[in-house]
């Protein structure tokens, strides 16, 4: 992993969603790291602050909103940029995500272009794409 | 040894509907009692918990209760202010539900009993009240073991898998099943061929996860609030159409399905129609699933 590249993390239990992010970001100069659960990501996130963090809401071990609540209590992640990804597009979830400082809320199925656009919106604008 | 059973005390969704046209099915909101060897677990605390509390208080023997809440929408907690055992010393009420901390769960329950919404707060509960740490992944109450998983409904909402007696019970009061499938179908033409293939794979994986959650259950109690016509205008409200639920239960090889969380708009005749249509689906698919309408007072033998 290069220090100069910005890091984007995706936490989602769905294998295809993780593949979709990998495929969508092939041409971006970023380090993309994916995890299949909140628990699996905690080893990394307890020590590292990514430039952008995507969190799924429904996951088997812990839901993304509760996980985000926990992360926000850590000084390291008080202001980590977070985007929620989910198939459940409910107003109440958006409100909770907003209260926890999530930047946006994207719903599955999201086309590859939407993924690259949202990443470029929040990371270094000079990224060669 | 005491009889082991599951009993429906409230089967309605959204709000209580004690209308003459609804009483064959029942008007109380979500509440199910599971009793094994004199240990009682209560799923949800809608208005159905009020008559259940009165019964438990009158029996005055099984004084250590576990209440598991799927979420905190009113129809699932609004019976608690009138739950008599909470107001009796030497009883113990254990609560479990979604939340990041015990304080959050407590706050969720306290807030509906605060002024100006209710004249007395939870501090007037004389029973010993215990909030179970939400990080626990498995909860036991005597011989009853419980795990949980996230479902599709606004806010964090749990489905519960309960091993009680000789049966595995899955209690999913509120869930919009096959939600992603419909989202993908709606937008499919907007995607490239590669994206279409990926979304089909994503959907298969998602459905596999949904199926695993209920696979082989002896008893599935599931949200079936909407008819196909209702669902045309209420997609995204967090509840299922019964047609999807029946197919879902067949796919997961569930033994008995209890259609639950009935819409208050649907009277007894409308729900009879849902029952008949559900039987037709089962016949058409040549499936062995037994499907019932959950009704107030209905009991399932767990021995």
A-to-B residue pairs, Cβ atoms closer than 8 angstroms: 80
Residue A60 pLDDT = 86
A23 beta partners: none
- Tell me if chain A has a CB within 8 Å of the CB of B190: yes
Partners of A87 on chain B (C-beta within 8 Å) are 152, 179-180, 183, 206
Polymer length of chain A: 129
Residue A126 pLDDT = 55
- Contacting B with CB below 8 Å, chain A residues are 13-17, 19-20, 23, 57-61, 63, 65-66, 69-70, 87-93, 96, 107-109, 111-112
pLDDT band with cut points at 50, 70 and 90 for residue A68: very high
Residue B186 pLDDT = 85
Q: ipTM of this complex > 0.90?
A: no
Nearest alpha carbon to residue A23 among A32, A14, A13: A32
Partners of A15 on chain B (C-beta within 8 Å) are 205
Per-residue pLDDT tens digits for A20-47: 999 999 999 999 999 999 999 999 999 9
- Tell me if chain A has a CB within 8 Å of the CB of B102: no
Average pLDDT, integer, range B197-203: 94
Per-residue pLDDT tens digits for B50-107: 999 999 999 999 999 999 999 999 999 999 999 999 999 999 999 999 998 999 999 9
Average pLDDT, integer, range B207-213: 93
Q: Which residues contact B214 (CB under 8 A, 6 or more apart)?
A: B159, B170, B172, B220, B222, B248, B249, B252, B254
Average pLDDT, integer, range A1-14: 84
Whether the pLDDT of residue B221 is over 50: the answer is yes
Q: Is B252 exposed, middle or buried (0-12, 13-18, 19+ CB in 10 A)?
A: buried
Residue A2 pLDDT = 46
Question: Is A109 close to B202, i.e. CB distance below 8 A?
Answer: yes
Q: Which two tokens stand for residue B76?
A: 């699932």
**Any idea what the Cα angle at residue B200 is, between residues B195 and B206, rounded to 5°?**
120
Per-residue pLDDT tens digits for B115-164: 999 999 999 999 999 999 998 889 999 999 999 999 999 999 999 999 99
Partners of A57 on chain B (C-beta within 8 Å) are 150
């Amino acid at each position: 992993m290069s220090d100069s590249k910005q890091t984007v993390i995706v936490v989602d239990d769905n294998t295809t969603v993780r593949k979709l992010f990998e495929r969508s970001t092939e041409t971006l100069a970023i380090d993309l790291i994916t995890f299949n659960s909140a628990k699996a990501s905690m080893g990394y996130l307890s020590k590292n602050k990514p430039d952008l963090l995507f969190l799924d809401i429904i996951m088997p071990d812990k839901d993304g909103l509760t996980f985000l609540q926990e992360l926000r209590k850590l000084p390291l992640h008080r202001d980590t940029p977070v985007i929620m990804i989910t198939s459940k597009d409910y107003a109440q979830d958006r409100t909770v995500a907003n209260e926890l400082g999530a930047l946006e809320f994207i719903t599955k199925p999201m086309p590859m272009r939407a993924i690259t656009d949202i990443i470029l919106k929040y990371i270094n604008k000079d990224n060669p794409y | 040894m005491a009889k082991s059973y599951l009993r429906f005390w409230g089967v309605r969704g959204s709000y209580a509907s004690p209308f003459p046209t609804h009483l064959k099915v029942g008007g109380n909101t979500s509440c199910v009692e599971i009793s094994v060897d004199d240990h009682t677990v209560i799923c949800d605390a809608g208005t159905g918990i009020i008559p259940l509390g009165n019964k438990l208080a009158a029996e005055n023997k099984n004084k250590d209760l576990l209440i598991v809440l799927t979420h905190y929408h009113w129809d699932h907690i609004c019976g608690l202010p009138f739950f008599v055992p909470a107001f009796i010393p030497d009883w113990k009420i254990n609560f479990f539900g979604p939340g990041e901390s015990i304080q959050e769960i407590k706050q969720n329950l306290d807030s509906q009993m605060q002024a100006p919404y209710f004249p007395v707060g939870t501090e007037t509960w004389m029973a010993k009240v215990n909030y179970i740490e939400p990080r626990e992944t498995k909860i036991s109450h005597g011989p009853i073991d419980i795990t949980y998983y996230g479902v599709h409904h606004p806010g964090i909402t749990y489905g519960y898998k309960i091993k009680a007696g000789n049966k595995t019970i899955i209690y999913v009061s509120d869930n919009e099943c096959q939600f992603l499938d419909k989202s993908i179908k709606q937008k499919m033409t907007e995607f490239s061929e590669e994206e279409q293939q990926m979304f089909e794979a994503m959907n298969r994986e998602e459905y596999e996860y949904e199926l695993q959650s209920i696979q082989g259950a002896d008893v599935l109690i599931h949200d079936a609030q909407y008819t196909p016509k209702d669902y045309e205008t209420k997609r995204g409200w967090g509840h299922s159409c019964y047609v999807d639920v029946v197919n879902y239960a067949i796919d997961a090889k569930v033994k008995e399905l209890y259609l639950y969380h009935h819409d208050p708009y649907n009277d007894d005749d409308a729900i009879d129609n849902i029952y008949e249509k559900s039987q037709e689906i089962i016949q058409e698919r040549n499936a062995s699933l037994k499907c019932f309408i959950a009704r107030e007072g209905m009991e399932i033998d767990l021995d």
